[in-house]
Structure 1
Amino acid sequence: MTDRHLSFALSPRLRHLSTFENAYRVGVQRRRTSGRNQFVVCTGDPAQPFRITSRQPQPDERILALIA
């Protein structure tokens, strides 16, 4: 299956969980819980297009938001 068709093969629940809005919401929750800044990054992976991290993002990841 190609990357282009992967998003259509995902379940509706997984499509919802893999949105930027959901990643941002999780980042806010993690910031409140940990007290550490959180980054929302674009991974380029169609199965997990966004990721939350409190560490400096990898060179191949693009920062979309900083939750401070």
Structure 2
Amino acid sequence: MKFSKQIYGYQSDITKFVAELKEKNPKLEEQQLAGRALLWDKTPIDLDSQQRTEESRVEQQPYVYQNNH
């Protein structure tokens, strides 16, 4: 059951803009993936080194500048 009339050939202005941008710069998607890899895709964490880091952490006093003397 359809509630509204659907227009199949319609493209929004933004969709047209993105299609034009990709035509002008065919390497755009490669550059986006490279940027994502640089900022977001990280190597898996080594669990042994993570555990060692957590165990070697020294607890800090609640108020750093207060001496225990």
State whether TM-score is above 0.5. no
* Larger RCO (CA under 8 A, 6+ residues apart): 1
Greater helix content: 2
Greater strand content: 1
Greater C-alpha Rg: 2
